[in-house]
Each structure stands twice: as structure tokens, then as C-alpha cells.
Chains A and B, each alone.
Chain A
Amino acid sequence: MHTRTAGASLFTDLEPLLEQVSKPIQYVGGELNSTVKDWDCGGDVTVRWALMYPDAYEVGVPNQGSMILYEVLNERPDVLAERTYAVWPDMEALMRSQGVPQFTVDAHRAVGDFDVLGISFSTELGYTNLLTALDLAGIPLHARDRVDGDTIVIAGGHAAFNPETIADFVDAAIIGDGEEAVLMVSDLIAAWKREGMPGGRHELLLRLAKTGGVYVPAFYEVTYLPDGRIQRIAPTEHGVPWRVSKHTVMDLDEWPYPKQPLVPLAESVHERMSVEIFRGCTRGCRFCQAGMITRPVRERSITGIGEMVEKGLAATGFEEVGLLSLSSADHTEIADITKGLADRYEGTNTGLSLPSTRVDAFNIDLANELTRNGRRSGLTFAPEGGSERIRKVINKMVTEDDLIKTVSAAYGAGWRNVKLYFMCGLPTETDEDVLQIAELAKRVIETGRQVSGRKDIRCTVSIGGFVPKPHTPFQWVGQLSADETDARLEKLRDAIRSDRRLGSSIGFRYHDGKPGIVEGLLSRGDRRVGAVIEQVWRDGGRFDGWSEHFSYDGWMAAAEKAFAASPWPIDVDWYTTREREESEVLPWDVVDSGLDKEWLWQDWLDALDETEVDDCRWTPCFDCGVCPQMNTEIEIGPTGKVLLPLTVLGAGKAGMAEQAHTHA
């Protein structure tokens, strides 16, 4: 047994290992704006969170959600939060051989010493990394094996909207926006500690479950029909709700986080700071889980955005600001925001970027403001579907003419490369729908050559397999198999390459169908899939989001083994390519995202009819159910305010000037 005191630094044990691993900087912490607090900062009732992003540091450190919760929690005097990430296999092997447990990067404390391990799942492909972290932390893998004193494992993030797949491994899941929820949970834990921890772990979890906003899988019994479908998911404890509600933060201006974004020394996947300009999206793309589960739209005000950019840049020194949201050009005041920011940062080499821009919301003025002070990068649009017909099915209301008009404006204004994102395997899709992508790309090149008068313009087609997600109108559909996806992608590639005149100007990038099947299994899985995750992990599965680590064959072999041991006729196809009926109980029915299941079904029928649904921001409500169910409403501008000029950067310059100092 360890004689280590709780909360003590493991750095001395870790240091020799750092000499032997790749990119050791990712394990040392000390980033600008990171926080280390006293282990007993709140006395006996200190609530301690280890926050994990279950991927490599370089992916996890810029994650907005984790950064927000880290700061929100640390602002509370009696709460401390530290960060931990998935360690690479070279480090894992050394930690195992030297007995070093999973640690936080901030103060190198053992994760098992914390009250809560909060783990944020943006994607299901991080599940095996959760198991590695639990095992390295010395926390029992299965929630049912944990006892009083063991860390409470709470999942969050978009993937937690179907918490059943990981029900074996997590004690609880928080659904929806985390800012207020983590403080609520902290209060509840502090109160329970203050009372002397009555009833131990069970009582604490029960209190959490009774709030109605925290899902505790152990308090639900799942029964099955002989054919494997779920018969019922029912609470087993008095006072535990049948369905758990998502959390919604209504006023983004009240939550201007992160105020002090982390600045890692190591290279990360986003070398910029980000300001979330609105949350939610009501465009209604039927494939898009994020758009469905984050309703309604809540805008941050133009002045709130200006202030966050100003403070964030001063706190970080980043040279690029990402204006983040699900569809950034849709902000009611986007033109004033981009112009106002470009004016403010004129001459400072500070770039702006809009990571998600719809074809129909884009215009050249906007693009010019974005590149005025920074570097001109490529333009990316996501028509998602190749044919007009399939775009109606998925409710991506963008016409081919919209797209051609937009890209010709871009080429005309001097852009040389336009990237187009698509999906393959959408419901009702045929080869023709996908082959239409080639025609579209050729038209883009032809138009581009015409308007620019040049031959060296390019267009890149990027395409991946569609994965049906919970809480969307496509939650019932059969996923296209990996083989069929690959066959379709191959036909598309041939159609592009075979064009001698235009083909060489079109780049083609694709993701094969195999990872999508595993993602599909995990997305629409139930608690029986936990055995598969565990088997894969025991066989060495790690970092499934990384193609060099992902093993499709490993997953299939593990699934075969795990499902063979189950009493039901279930397999990977049953979870992925099988179409569900309206009446089927879905594992994620226990989560109330606000969306009315009947509305989702109706929207699915509309998809089959190729009927489009407009955006409720500018057309009447179409009764998706979220606002009345969650007692929320659309929060959008315009506010009519503008960004005033500001001496924004180089505030320290005056103090540094030579004439300000007397020389001897």
C-alpha cells in the first residue's frame, strides 16, 4: 500500500520517466493561466475535481468545455480542479512498471485522491482511454465495485447524451451545459461532507440523482425482450426520476469563460484562443447531433464578445481568435463583430477565424474582415450531401447555385483553394447521390477558372462515413456498412480522377467506413456494449480516435466474444446497420434533451419525403419541444451595439520605450 499523503505531488516519481518518453512537456503542466490550489483550500469540505479530456494532451488542452469548467470550479474558494489527459502508450508502460498512478498535470496529484473524476466526452472514441485512466488511477473499473472513499466518476460532453454505453464504468453523467451543473454538484458534495458524509457513496449518488439533472446508471434497471431490444429502463430507488433533464445555460454574457485561456507550451491542435459567440443551432440539419441537443440558440452579445476577445488576448498573447459556434456566420451581428474586431486589431497581426461557416451565410465582406489583420487561410464549406435531393433529406438547405455563387465569389476575391466537406452513407442515399459530388466539384473548378482567369485554383473534397446519433431524427436509421461505404467512396474517387481536364484540380480525402462502424456501435449502444469496450481495452485498445492506434479487427473480435456470452441475439450489425421502429425503447430515452420523440419521428418521416424544415429563428416555432420542456427560449440579437475602438494590444509598450527611462 502507498504511504503517500493524499494530494501530495508525484513529480519526483514522474521525473525520471519524463526523460524516457516522447514530448515530455505534455506531462509537466505549468501552462500560463493554469492554477494550483492548496489541497485543503476549503478546509474539511474542500471539493476536489480531476477533470479529464480522454485524449492526448495536444487534443485535450485546447478543449473549450474543459477549460471553462476548470476555471469556473477554481474560481470557487472551497473547490479545486486540476486537469488530466490520456497518457501515450510509452508513458503508460513506464507508469505501470514504476507504479506511478494516473496524475494531474497541474500539481501532479494522484487522480485517485480526488473526490470526483469529471470526464468530458466529445466523441465516443475516447471510451477506452477512460478505462486506461481508471486503471492507472487505481479506481475500480466497474462502478459497482467502487466503495466509500473511491473517486466518483462523472461523464459529461455530447457523447454523454447516451450514457448507457458506458454505464458499467461511470457513476454518473451530467447532461448538457456544465457551468452551472458542476457548481451544483460541488455544493451538494460540500453539504454532504459538512454533514459527515451520511450514507457514504450511495447516499451521495442518490442525492445527485434526485436533483433530476444527474443520471446515475446504477439506479436504473434495464430489462430486455427476448430479441434483444430493450423492454424498459426503470428507476430502482425512490425519488429517482424516470428521465434525466439536460442543463441549459441561458445567458452566455453571464458566463464569459474561459476568461484566462490556457496557453500550453506544447503544440496543440488549435493554436489560437477561442470565444464562443453563441451556443445551440436551430438550422435543423437532421444528421447533426450537436445542433439537436444544444437548442435553443443563445447568442453572446457583440459587446460581451468584444470584451472576451480583449481580455483573452491580453491574457494569452495568441495571434489568432476563433469565433466559435456551430455555425458562426449565423450570429445576428456577425458583420459588426468581425468588422469591429478587425478595426480594433488593425496592424497587430491578429487574425480572426470562423471555424464553422455555412455556404449560405458566407459573403466576401465577411471573409475580407477575417483576413484583414491575419493570414489568409483556405475556405471550408460543408454542403454535406452531393445531390440536391439528399440535401433535402438531411435538411441542409443549401442549393447547388448557392454553393457555386459563394465559391465563385471566393475565387474571384483571390482565394485559390476551397475545401468542401461531405458525408457518405446518409439515409436513402444511392450511388448517384454520392457521384453527384464529383459533378459539383467539377463545376466548382470550372467556375473558379472562369472567374479567376487562372488554371491553378483548387478544390478539395473531404468525405467521411455518416454515423447516426442519438437524439436526432436519424436515431432510428440503419447505418451503411463499412464495405458499402468504402465501395461508394471508391466510385466517387474514380469519378473525380477520371476527368482529365478537371480531375487534377480536385483533391480527394476520405475516411474509410470502419471507424464509423465502431463509433456507431458506441453511439447507439446500450449497457451491454460495455463488455465490448472492456474487452477491446483488455486486448490493448487505446486512442481509438487515432488511425495509427485504431484497430477495427480488434473491435470486431472483441464484440464477437462479448456478445457471444450474452443471452440475446445481438451483434455489431444489430447495433449499427439495423433500422429501429418507432416503438422501440432506445437506450438514451432516459435522457431528456427536450426534443419531443414524436417530433423527431415526424422529422424522420419528413426526411423520407424530402420535406425541408426551416430555422425557428426566422420562421415560426415548429414544436421540436425543447423550449417548453426545458423552460427556455431563443436568445438572439441584434443588440444594435457596436465595438468601439480600443487600445488593445501593446499596453506595455509605453513603459518599455527608451525615452521613458533615464540612462546613466
Chain B
Amino acid sequence: MARRTPEGPPPPPAVQKLRLRYAKRGRLRFSSTRDFSRALERALRRAGVPMAFSAGFHPHPKISYANAAPTGTASEAEYFEISVTERVDPEALRVALDAALPPDLDVLEVVEAGPGSLAERLEGSVWHLEMRGVTLETLTYAVERFLATELAEVTRTFKTGPKTFDVRSAVVSMVATESDDPSCAILQMVVRHTTPSVRPDDILTALRAVTELSPPVPPLVTRLAQGPLLTATAGVADPLAADKEAVGS
């Protein structure tokens, strides 16, 4: 039997690929990846972005997402790529798309994609946790104990069932500092992206196991950055730097 093909001409080809960084802030930290993709597709239409579509009976706009932060965590560094059928000015697109997205989903940077994969550059994340109801002293003790361990196993339930994995090896650095509020210490850490991915709540689970650290309210978690790991400085580099250079050259 002949395979059915859609009537009409194929969709216009993509002529430009763009990489975008956005922030998920405030109450919209409770949005999931799927919530964001719905909001984004509608915002792209509202803004009039000349999106490229896949061919076939169910054309989809060409968007690829990279390593989204879990539901409930805020982020200053989420990334995705889109392809368009007419060349656009990245900054004009940023302004238009930002205006079309709900407040608290903010488009921060748009660059034309250079060579190489964006996903591969996202090697690690910088996480910032406001530990409400935890003093600096308590947190410092927990951090020291955690860093002294060689293995910190946690169990999380996946779609395929419970899985136990080590989180200690993914933690590149972990520091406790104070905030303006003495009852709220700050936990900042650099975590390597692994499979399965080690999420901040996995690390909190491990901290609880090591030192019985148990915050009275869940901490406010924000991803500050993600990108290529800088082992020397225990940080991450800008994953769009290569794209910016490619355009500049």
C-alpha cells in the first residue's frame, strides 16, 4: 500500500537557527517543561516569529529544548533552539518574544547558532538554594560532612521504577554562605550533568542522610547558570560564547 503523503507543497525550509536563553522566575517556577513549551509555541505565534515547521501530516514548529530545570525550581539559565524560514534580527526577536510570553518567563539572550551542539556544551549547572529556616552554622556543618564522603547514594523513582545512584561524584563544588536573613543560609553548588541527572533535591536528600539536615520549609532553588564546566574555578562558562564569537568573526 502506498504511503500517504500530505497534499500541497513541502513547508518552506529553515534558513537560520537561533539559540535562546530564558529565565523562569517567581511563581512560574512551578511551570513544567511541557507547560513552558505550550506557552512558548503560542508566544511564537503571537509574536509573528517566522517559524520553520516539520513536514508531514502533523507539522510541528522546529524547537529543541535542552536540559530543562525541574518543576518548582527557578532558573536564570534555560536554553532552547528554534529554526526560522526568514532571517531575523536576534535582538528584535528577543524583544518581541519576551513581550509575548507571560511575565516571569523572560527571554534574556538570543544569538544566531554557530557550529557545534548546544546540548553538548551544557556540562554543568550552578545552583543557588535559599535554605529558609537553616542557619549558616548548621548548613556549614552539613556541607563539610557531605564533602568528606566519597559516596552519597540516593534513590529516586523514575518511570521505570526506583533507581539508586551516587550524587557525591556529580558535585564539583559546594559552599555555604550567609544571606541578609540570619535564619536563611545560602547553599551554592556546581553540579555536573550526569545520567541520571542529579537534581538539587537529590542532593538535599543526601544531605539529610549524612547530617539529618532537614529544612522546615522547602528551599527556594534557582539555577544561576549552566554551560561548559570550568574545573579550575569551579564554575561554568557561557555556553553561547562560541556562537557569539562565530557571529562576530
Contact = CB atoms under 8 A, between A and B. Distances in A.
Contacts of B87: 657-659
Contacts of A319: 41-42, 45
A653 B34 contact: no
B137 interface: no
Given A349-B59, A375-B57, A652-B96, A265 B102 contact: yes
B100 A266 contact: no
Contact of A653 (B43, B48, B57, B91): B48
Interface in B16-54: 27-28, 30-32, 34-36, 38-39, 41-50, 53
B104 interface: yes
Given A11-B27, A375-B58, A657-B87, A265 B48 contact: no
A649 to B, nearest CB: 7
Interface string A638-653: 0000000000011111
A30 B103 contact: yes
A317 B44 contact: yes
A317 B46 contact: yes
B42 A318 contact: yes
A495 interface: no
B86 A657 contact: yes
B218 interface: yes
Closest 8 CB pairs of A and B: A317-B42, A652-B48, A317-B46, A317-B45, A661-B89, A650-B48, A24-B30, A653-B48
Interface of A: 11, 15-16, 18-20, 23-25, 27-32, 263, 265-267, 271, 313-319, 349, 375-376, 649-653, 655-661, 663
Contacts of B35: 25, 265-267
B100 A317 contact: yes
B100 A650 contact: no
Interface in B102-149: 102-104
B198 to A, nearest CB: 19
A28 B43 CA distance: 19
Contact of A656 (B46, B49, B57): B49
Interface in B79-104: 86-89, 91-93, 96, 100, 102-104
B217 A649 contact: no
A80 to B, nearest CB: 19
Contact of A649 (B32, B34, B48, B104): B48
B217 to A, nearest CB: 5
A363 B77 CA distance: 51
B57 A650 contact: no
Interface residues of B, number: 40
B46 A314 contact: yes
Given A263-B39, A650-B50, A651-B48, A656 B30 contact: no
Nearest to A349: B59
A28 B30 contact: yes
Contacts of A658: 87-89
Interface of B: 27-28, 30-32, 34-36, 38-39, 41-50, 53, 57-59, 71-72, 86-89, 91-93, 96, 100, 102-104, 217-218
A318 B45 CA distance: 8
Contact of A30 (B48, B58, B89, B102): B102
Nearest to A319: B45
Given A319-B41, A652-B96, A659-B87, 13 more contacts: A16-B217, A18-B30, A29-B27, A265-B102, A266-B35, A315-B46, A317-B41, A317-B42, A375-B57, A375-B58, A651-B48, A656-B50, A658-B87
A349 B43 CA distance: 15
B58 A25 contact: no
A655 B43 CA distance: 16
B50 A653 contact: yes
B53 A661 contact: no
A266 B33 CA distance: 10
B103 A652 contact: no
23 contacts: A25-B35, A25-B71, A27-B30, A28-B28, A30-B102, A263-B39, A265-B36, A266-B35, A316-B46, A318-B42, A319-B42, A375-B57, A650-B50, A652-B49, A653-B86, A656-B47, A656-B49, A656-B96, A657-B88, A658-B87, A658-B88, A658-B89, A660-B92
Given A30-B27, A652-B96, A24 B72 contact: yes
A366 to B, nearest CB: 18
Contacts of A652: 46-49, 96
A376 B57 contact: yes
Contacts of B86: 653, 657
A16 B218 contact: yes
Contacts of A653: 48-50, 86
Contacts of A11: 27
A28 B31 CA distance: 9
A375 B72 CA distance: 33
Contacts of A349: 53, 59
Contacts of A266: 35
Nearest to B91: A661
Contacts of A29: 27
A490 B72 CA distance: 46
Nearest to B93: A656
A661 B92 contact: yes
B48 A656 contact: yes
A318 B31 CA distance: 19
Contacts of A25: 30-32, 35, 71
A476 to B, nearest CB: 47
A11 B28 CA distance: 13
Contacts of B43: 317
Contacts of B31: 25, 265
Contact of A267 (B38, B44, B88, B217): B38
Nearest to B43: A317
A658 B45 CA distance: 18
A125 to B, nearest CB: 27
A54 to B, nearest CB: 23
Contacts of B103: 30
Nearest to B88: A656
Most chain B Cβ neighbours within 10 Å, of A28, A315, A649: A28
A32 B104 CA distance: 11
A81 B86 CA distance: 42
Nearest to A651: B48
Interface-central residue, B44, B91, B92, by most chain A CB under 10 Å = B92
Contacts of A318: 42, 45
Nearest to A416: B4
B218 A19 contact: yes
A24 B26 CA distance: 13
